Structure formats: structure tokens, C-alpha cells
Chains A and B, each alone.
Chain A
Amino acid sequence: MKEEKFEKWMPFIERWVPLCMGLFVTAGAAVVATYAIYIFQDEFIWDFIIAAAIVIVAYTTYYLLKLKRKKDYTPEFDERTMKNVFKFFAGVSFVFIFLFFIFLGGVTLLGYHTVSLLHLWIFALLYFFISGIGLFIVKRR
């Protein structure tokens, strides 16, 4: 009986939960970041909230357009796509760790004792950027 009830709600859950989760996580992250800065630096900045609002509007528009375009009831992910995504993440992580060691080795050989945080941030953001774009491509294969 419980399973039947759950199955009745499955199409609704599959359709709207990803959007709700995305919006909730983005809004939550913006609130937590703003609050943390308010607590530690004693100033209220709007940057995170504005950025989150832009992301929420863009993501909602993209998601609704995607829903409108989709005419069939096939899922977004299945066992093969999940496997492809895991393989891709494993590969990208491996390559980035390898490049990081090369970078550290090069820096050490050149005689530097410190590395600017900016370079590490560039490296981390590059990783997120490449894995995000790659995920988008791998998901569709």
C-alpha cells in the first residue's frame, strides 16, 4: 500500500525535486556565506545573495525550458550514464591530481617556498569548470 502511494508520486518527484534541490542548495549556500561573513568580518554584503538570485533565475529558466521540450518519459540518468559520469570524474580527478603534482614539483624545483593562494584558487576553479562542462557532455552521450 505504501509502495503504491509512493509510486503514484514518483512522476511528480522525478519532475520537480531536482529543481527544488538546486534552488534550496543555492539559496542555502548564499545565506550561509552571507551569515558567515557577517559573523566573522562584521559586515553585511549582498554579493552572495545577488549571485544566488541570478543563478536561481537562470537555472529555473533552463529547467522549465528543458521540461517543456522533453516529450517522452525516459529518465535523465540511468545505469550507463551514471557509470560514464563516475568514470569521467575519476579520470578528471586523476589528471588534475597529476597536474597538481607536476605544478608543485616545478615550483619546488624553481626554488619557491610559497605559492600564492590565487594560483590554488585558479586551479580549483578550473577543476570545477572543466568537470562541470564535461559532466554536461558525458551525460548526453
Chain B
Amino acid sequence: MPVKNNIKKIRKERGIKQLKMAEDLQVTRQTFTAIENNKYNPSLELALKIVNYFNVPIDEVFILEEVKR
């Protein structure tokens, strides 16, 4: 079951720069881009930091997609 996220959408809505957020979360720019493009799933710690940063419930940021069988 892949995990998708709305980080890019929420970040753009709030007008936060990608570099600023990467600096605040202490991750590299490449990692932040990979997370936003759903190429890399962050650790639980980083995921919670992101949720805390936006101050929204976790299910608004991360979505667990069900795989059809």
C-alpha cells in the first residue's frame, strides 16, 4: 500500500519556499524534493515533524492508498 502526501499542495497554499522548509526540517533539498514527489517515504520522526510544521492532522498530509487486488 503506497503512501502519498499533500506536502507540496499545503506548502504552496501557505506560500512556504521549498528551501526554507528543508532548512527548518534539517533535510537536504534533494530529500525534500523526493518526499514531495512521493519518491521517498520519510521516517516516522520526519513525518511527525512535517505534520507539526504544518500544524494539521496527520491524515491531511499523508494518505495510505489501498492497492486493488
Cβ–Cβ contact A141 & B23, under 8 A: no
Tell me if A74 is interfacial: C-beta within 8 Å of chain B. yes
With both beta carbons as reference points, the residue of chain B lying nearest to A76 in the complex is identified as B28
Alpha-carbon distance A118/B54, docked complex (angstroms) = 58
A78, B63: Cα distance in complex, Å: 23
Neighbour of B22 across the interface among A74, A77, A81, A141, CB < 8 A:
A74
List residues of chain B with CB within 8 A of the CB of A141.
30
Count A/B pairs, Cβ under 8 Å: 37
Q: Is the interface of B mostly helix, strand, loop or mixed?
A: helix
The residue of chain A having its C-beta at the shortest distance from the C-beta of B32 within the complex is A74
Q: Which of B24-39 contact A (CB under 8 A)?
A: 26-31, 34
In the complex, how many angstroms separate the beta carbon of A135 from the nearest chain B beta carbon?
A: 15
Total B residues in contact with A, Cβ cutoff 8 Å: 14
A74 to B20 alpha-carbon distance, docked (Å): 9
In the bound complex, residues from chain B placing their C-beta under 8 Å from that of A72 are 19, 22-23, 29
Chain B 43-54 per-residue mask, 1 if CB under 8 angstroms from chain A, else 0? 100100000000
Q: In the bound complex, how far is the Cα of B22 from the Cα of A102, in angstroms?
A: 45
Which listed residue, A78, A80, A81, A140, touches B26 by the CB 8 Å rule?
Answer: A78
Tally A residues with Cβ within 8 Å of B: 12
The residue from B19, B30, B46 contacting A79, defined by CB atoms under 8 A apart = B46
In the complex, residue of chain A having the shortest beta-carbon distance to the beta carbon of B42: A79
Inter-chain contact B19/A80, CB cutoff 8 Å: no
Contact A74 B43 (CB under 8 A): no
How would residues 16 to 49 of chain A score, 1 for a CB under 8 Å from any chain B CB and 0 otherwise?
0000000000000000000000000000000000
* CB atoms of B26 and A79 under 8 A apart: no
Contact B27 A75 (CB under 8 A): yes
- Give the Cβ gap from B22 to chain A, nearest Cβ, in Å: 5
Q: Can you list 14 A-B contacts with CB-CB less than 8 angstroms, sorted by A residue number?
A: A72-B23, A72-B29, A74-B19, A74-B22, A74-B27, A74-B29, A78-B26, A78-B28, A79-B27, A79-B31, A80-B27, A81-B28, A140-B30, A141-B30
